[in-house]
Amino acid sequence: MEKVYESEYRFLSILWENEPIASPKLVELCNAQLGWKKSTTYTVIKKLIDKGLVKNENTIVSALVTKEEVDRRESEELLQRTSKGNVPAFLAAFLKDRKLSQGDVERIRQMIDEAEEDS
């Protein structure tokens, strides 16, 4: 999957919440939420079609990727860029000077347990 830039992600967030959606309605939403002109919205649709992330059939726009897929890809890229894939180092840097609630700690432990079971 190609990199998704911030403006593309904001567009995709609108699309994910409203898909499938007619392109004129999507133009309205992008204008209202992002301040984009019609031409900007259509340019982004075209770019995302070229990246294989969106389809536009008979003026109905749909995503070809889920939010979870894009978030997972972006998270992996951040992990590689900041910690060379070293999860403990990444977590140490991320958690430095942060206080976690008991609920956060329990959820993180649960995620670790689930990841460990999948290994």
Provide, rounded to the nearest whole percent, the portion of the chain with pLDDT above 70.
98
Confidence of residue 116 (pLDDT cuts 50, 70, 90): confident
SS (H, E, C) the chain: CCCCCHHHHHHHHHHHHHCCEEHHHHHHHHHHHHCCCHHHHHHHHHHHHHCCCEEEECCEEEECCCHHHHHHHHHHHHHHHHHCCCHHHHHHHHHCCCCCCHHHHHHHHHHHHHHHHHC
| pLDDT value of residue 119 | 56
* CATH numbers and ranges of domains, the chain: 6-67 (1.10.10.10), 87-119 (no CATH)
Summarised one tens digit per residue, pLDDT across range 32-90 is: 999 999 999 999 999 999 999 999 999 999 999 999 999 999 999 989 998 998 988 88
